[in-house]
Amino acid sequence: MRSSGPLSVAIIGLGPRGLSVLERLILRLRARGGANPVTIWAVDTDEHGSGRVWRSGQPLWLAANATASELTAHSPDNPLLDGDGPYALSHWSAGDPAGPALAPDEYPGRARYGAYLHEFFKQLCALAPEGVRIRPILGRAIGLFRAVHGLRLRVDDGGPDLHVDKAVLTTGHSALEPTEEELAFQRHADRHPGLRYLGRGIAAEQPLDTIPAGATVAVRGLGLTFYDVVRSLTIGRGGRFERDSGGRLRYLAGGREPRIVAGSRSGLPFLARAQVHEPELAPRPVVLTDERVERLRERARAERGTPKLDFAAEVEPLLWAEVEHAYYRCTVRLRDGDQAAREFTAAFGGIVDAQTGIDVRRKDKVLAAYGLGDVPALRADLLAQPFAGSTFADPAAFRRRLLEVLTQDVESALLGPEGSPVKAALEMMRTLRPALPGIVDFGGLLPKSHEDFLTRFAPMNFLLSAGPPAEHGAQLASLVDAGIVDVVGPQACYGRGEGCFLVESPVVAGSRREARVLLDARAPAPDLHRERDPLLRQLLADGMISEYVNTDPGTGERFATGGLAVTDAPFHVLGADGEPDPDLYALGVVTQNTRWFTQVGTGRPGQDSPFRRDADAIAEAVLGPEAA
């Protein structure tokens, strides 16, 4: 335990995760009252509060994929905000002179949310109690070293090294060293004048303005970054959308657009999120409950000698049953009303047998009793891969099928989770995401199962439930229909041609296209050993941090996750010797794969969440028991 006296703390990375730690520190320090002085160094490369992803200066057409009433930076127990506190972004926007008020169900621009986060940072600085100084530094942390007492922090702002007692790594997204394939694409571009290769990164930081009008740009990946790139190269180039006399959405080109050709393994862009109105409290799970997960761990311990679970065999059936419950419950409610839906929920909870898991016969009886036997089953695998097993005679045939899928998806999304059984099911997938870290984190799964979860289930989960607003899905369909965007098809392959890049789908005849620009819009997987961030590279080289390797002690099976190893709360980093560092903590994206779903940058207004609890655990540990 550190001796009493002035305390110096560095928060390295002041995006939403770092901001949450700062808030909990301030609240605990205010509750403590008069005490020893505290200095909090707030270090960020871009903007305090908003960080890199949400910084307020980015283009207005880049939007969040959550509504203004779902986004907040404030803890629900923050007593300083009682009465008129701007708990949600929608509430804050009503008093923001810099922009119009946001409707609760409106998807805000990232810049607007960034302005809100930056404003909250300034509010926290003003709320710091006497004796507490918050010292913002705009710069990059490039070194953190052991000192006689505590740590020595180096920032590239030209100032002297800082001596701190504690440091919290909330550094967020960072770049990785390119793979050999990526280097080969870059070398190909370097050898041929006029070719450009743009590696993975945030769309707001990509030099998209340098892509010539009319040039063909091949985009690799159909996730959220793909949507950002498309919007930047269409709306950002002067194009606009309007509805014709028949109500059909049309794209009016600005004249400076490139031609966009894209692909992925599935050939399916992320599905649109259901239109959400006033957010409701997340429903309690009926099948995938904490009690059932704990019973699974007890059984695994008895049968395998370890509490580690097999996600696909033991957890996933419960998860899909939970999703099915939402699907069928919406069907019952639309047909028979709320009371029938409540009765159906009570009955559906009984389909799980304590020993055997899902009892198919019980499930069939429940469905039959509520007249659901003839309702088409929900096939999440087909939703995620609607083109699996199909071949297409030409690109036009695939385009027609893609437009059918996108149009149907948007129509369902506009009905919302209350009007579309399919979107009710997919919104349940989104709702269940916060429950999964308790199952997956810190080696909660067997090593091979952990790898399967990250490489198979997690991408499918995001494709189905983490998509853009329905409006953006409709706009994409309009762009495909107009020929501005062309998706080549499933199993997309990218290569190098004579003076060009190549992209094609092996299941779409005649789909090969040549491009002058290749842009990688895929999200990078964590890989601590390929980090380009100078601070993380130095910490790894000095043995102050280490990669988390999931190991099954019974079989010796191992899975190197690529993530930074940390303890459970309060998340001390683990050094190369496997020992926790008492002065260094890590939270958020930097720990991805050791933990899961660390990208979340908010809690829901008025609701407690791991987002707040994680930050508070670090604040409590940093300040010590005197601040509890």
Residue 330 resides in a domain: yes
- Total of domains in the chain: 3
- CA-to-CA distance for 559 and 312, rounded, in angstroms? 16
pLDDT band at residue 628 under the 50/70/90 scheme: very low
Residue 470 resides in a domain: no
Among 418, 439, 465, give the residue marking a domain's end: 465
Question: 173-196 burial, b for 16+ CB within 10 Å, e for fewer?
Answer: bbebebeeebeebbebbeebeebb
572-574 sheet: strands from edge to edge? 132-138, 38-44, 7-12, 166-169, 580-586, 572-574
pLDDT for residue 30 is more than 70: yes
pTM reported for the whole predicted model: 0.94
Query: 429 and 301, same structural domain?
Result: yes
- The whole-number pLDDT of residue 355 equals 65
Query: 374 and 393, same structural domain?
Result: yes
pLDDT for residue 311 is more than 90: yes
Please, are residues 273 and 266 in contact by the beta-carbon 8 Å criterion? Answer: no
- The whole-number pLDDT of residue 86 equals 53
pLDDT for residue 176 is more than 70: yes
Residue 430 resides in a domain: yes
List the domain range (segments joined by +) for residue 190. Answer: 180-270+483-520
pLDDT for residue 273 is more than 90: yes
pLDDT band at residue 278 under the 50/70/90 scheme: low
pLDDT band at residue 456 under the 50/70/90 scheme: very high
pLDDT band at residue 1 under the 50/70/90 scheme: very low
pLDDT tens-digit map of 389-408: 999 999 999 999 999 999 99
Specify the range with the lowest mean pLDDT, choosing from 154-168, 314-328, 350-364, 432-446.
350-364
Give the mean pLDDT of 459-483: 96
- The whole-number pLDDT of residue 3 equals 45
- The whole-number pLDDT of residue 321 equals 94
Q: Is the peptide bond before 570 cis (omega within 30 degrees of 0)?
A: yes
336: number of Cβ within 10 Å? 14
- CA-to-CA distance for 547 and 68, rounded, in angstroms? 36
Residue 545 resides in a domain: no
| CATH at residue 13 | 3.50.50.60
Q: Where are the beta strands (DSSP E) in 296-374?
A: 352-353, 357-358
pLDDT tens-digit map of 329-368: 999 999 999 999 999 999 998 898 766 678 889 999 999 9
Query: 33 and 102, same structural domain?
Result: yes
Query: 184 and 169, same structural domain?
Result: no
Query: 142 and 71, same structural domain?
Result: yes
Residue 448 resides in a domain: yes
Query: 148 and 11, same structural domain?
Result: yes
Which percentage of the chain shows pLDDT scores above 90?
83
Burial category of 35 from C-beta neighbours within 10 Å (exposed 0-12, middle 13-18, buried 19 and up): middle
- CA-to-CA distance for 16 and 27, rounded, in angstroms? 16
- The whole-number pLDDT of residue 280 equals 59
Only one residue has tokens 């930081």, namely 205
pLDDT tens-digit map of 88-142: 899 999 988 888 999 999 999 999 999 999 999 999 999 999 999 999 999 999 9
Query: 166 and 26, same structural domain?
Result: yes
Query: 148 and 19, same structural domain?
Result: yes
Query: 139 and 32, same structural domain?
Result: yes
Q: Where are the beta strands (DSSP E) in 539-603?
A: 547-551, 558-564, 572-574, 580-586
Residue 278 resides in a domain: no
What is the end-to-end Cα distance of the chain in Å, rounded? 15
Q: Which two tokens stand for residue 148?
A: 């006689």
Query: 367 and 320, same structural domain?
Result: yes
Query: 379 and 253, same structural domain?
Result: no
- Look at the chain and count its residues: 628
pLDDT top residue among 356 and 587: 587
445 has which bridge partners?
A: 309
Query: 87 and 19, same structural domain?
Result: yes
pLDDT band at residue 441 under the 50/70/90 scheme: very high
- CA-to-CA distance for 418 and 65, rounded, in angstroms? 19
pLDDT band at residue 2 under the 50/70/90 scheme: very low
pLDDT for residue 36 is more than 60: yes
Question: 506-527 burial, b for 16+ CB within 10 Å, e for fewer?
Answer: ebbbebebebbbbbbbeebebb
